[in-house]
Structure 1
Amino acid sequence: MSTPSKRPPADLPELSLGVTLVDVDDDLGVEPVQALLLDRVLGGDGPGFWVDGANRANTTRLRELAPADRVLDRVEVARGFTAYQHTALLDRLAGRLAARDSPSVVVATGLDARYRAADVDRELAGEMFVRAVASVARVARVHDAPVLVTRREADEFSRPLRRAAETHLTCRATRFGPRFADAAGETETLVYRGADGWLQTTLAYWREVLAHRARLHGAATPDREAAAPGVR
């Protein structure tokens, strides 16, 4: 596929304050969530926090997507590898933010994943999951900030998360590009038209979207800096 020659501006959904649940097609990976995280950090004053429970927090890819390394100085990443670790991370985040400036965004990918593990009693896992949901809801409520959450499965177990989310988005793969839709069915398809076809969901695609968004925000430029990224 040839390099697109003339591209219309691409937009990203504006995250509402409170908890937003987004269900993303597996084919799209975690990049739509990373793009939303970076977009909020670009347009806000506070830091961004990413707590991962599904082995999706790839900081190398996050750096590749960011318009500039200095953007990553305002992003902190943590991973929970067990249900106990994950619950503790969310508890610590909620307590830590109580004494800090409000974040631009908090992202929790795979919020339900660790509580489905075989090494956790089912009843206890359900209680811990409800506690995890309460933690992210508390962050959203106390700081009046957007909290973006994904889940591994849309089933009965994840119902507490669905009830806690004020907003529900989906991100589906289409032949024209990834399409975000809300509960009302209103959609935003992120498309760049090339000379001989459509640029699909690739690393280059998301970098183009974020570079455009950075210019709109008047924030970071696509130029890279020598310093290492600040994600940790």
Structure 2
Amino acid sequence: MDMSRQQPRVELPELDAGLTLVDVDSDLGATPVQSLLLDCVFAGSGDAYWVDAAGTAQTTRLRELVPDRRYLDRVHVARGFTAYQQMSLLDRLAGEHVTNPSVVVATGIDRLYRDGDISTTHAKELLVRSIAALARVGRVHDVPVVMTRSRDDEFTKPVGNAAKTQLHCQNTQFGPRFTDAAGDVDALVYHLGDGWVQTTLAYWQEVLAHRAQMHDTPVVSEETAPQIS
């Protein structure tokens, strides 16, 4: 799709403090959420804390996306494999000494609570407790807390009800677009090179490189980047 007639720009939503629910079209994967996480790291001085229950917290992908790998020292990833592990992680995040975070991300917040080893009633209680723990983190530290869910249905209504902001990232003929629940946010992110839209890893790499420059963040080349074992 030739975008040469469009005014190219690089935009990602500016996240407010508190709970933000982000629903992403399946063909875009987790990369839009990873990009939001890194953008918050560029913009702030604190760390990012990512609790994953959806199997999407891939540190390899973060390493490929970030313009300067030194910023990965400020990204902390934890994964829950059972409902109780996830709840324990979120309780620790809300109760332990988290110093000056820039952003907190919880992906697939509902997925483990859908497993058949716990009753429906208890699963709903755990989901509400998880949301409350995340809300506390956002409130105490005055930072954005980004949540995603595996499905939009009756079970995850509490997630939408608790969110201060709801965003949807969808793929369009003009590139990925973030909109809010009312359709008022219209943040299109375009490829800035030859006017062609792409949704590959290279696309998001370029978006983040430009965002880093907007935040006066150092951008280093692959040749000079420190290596991570």
With structure 2 as the length reference, what TM-score do the two structures score?
A: 0.92
Contact 1:28 1:173 in 2 (8 A): yes
For 1:176, the equivalent position in structure 2 comes to 174
**Equivalent position to 1:148, from 146, 149, 162:** 146
Residues 27-82 of structure 1 deviation map (CA, whole Å, 9 limit, x = unaligned): 10000000000000011011001110111111111110011110100000011011
Measure how far apart 1:194 and its partner are. 5.5
Q: Secondary structure at the match of 1:184?
A: coil
Contact 1:176 1:200 in 2 (8 A): no
Q: Percent identity?
A: 56
Contact 2:49 2:101 in 1 (8 A): yes
Structure 1 outlier segments of 4+, above 6 Å: none
Measure how far apart 1:180 and its partner are. 0.3
Residue 136, structure 1, aligned to residue 147, structure 2: no
CA RMSD of aligned residues (A): 2.0
**Equivalent position to 1:221, from 205, 212, 219:** 219
Measure how far apart 1:11 and its partner are. 1.2
For 1:192, the equivalent position in structure 2 comes to 191
Q: Secondary structure at the match of 1:157?
A: helix
Q: Secondary structure at the match of 1:61?
A: helix
Q: Secondary structure at the match of 1:23?
A: strand
- After TM superposition, the structure 1 = structure 2 runs for residues 33-44 of structure 1, keeping only pairs within 5 Å, are 33-44=33-44
Residues 78-108 of structure 1 deviation map (CA, whole Å, 9 limit, x = unaligned): 1101101000000011112xx3432100000
Task: Give the distance between the partners of 2:193 and 2:174, measured in 1 at CA.
Answer: 11
Residues 168-198 of structure 1 deviation map (CA, whole Å, 9 limit, x = unaligned): 1110111221010012312111112654x62
Measure how far apart 1:223 and its partner are. 2.4
With structure 1 as the length reference, what TM-score do the two structures score?
A: 0.91
Contact 1:111 1:150 in 2 (8 A): yes
Q: Secondary structure at the match of 1:50?
A: strand
Measure how far apart 1:220 and its partner are. 2.6
For 2:32, the equivalent position in structure 1 comes to 32
Contact 2:104 2:145 in 1 (8 A): yes
Aligned residue pair count: 224
Residues 146-173 of structure 1 deviation map (CA, whole Å, 9 limit, x = unaligned): 0000011111111111111010111011
Residue 204, structure 1, aligned to residue 202, structure 2: yes
Contiguous gaps of at least 5 residues in structure 2: none
Query: Which piece of structure 1 moves more, 219-228 or 87-96?
Result: 219-228
**Equivalent position to 2:164, from 160, 163, 166:** 166
Contact 1:211 1:222 in 2 (8 A): no
Matched AA of 1:152: S
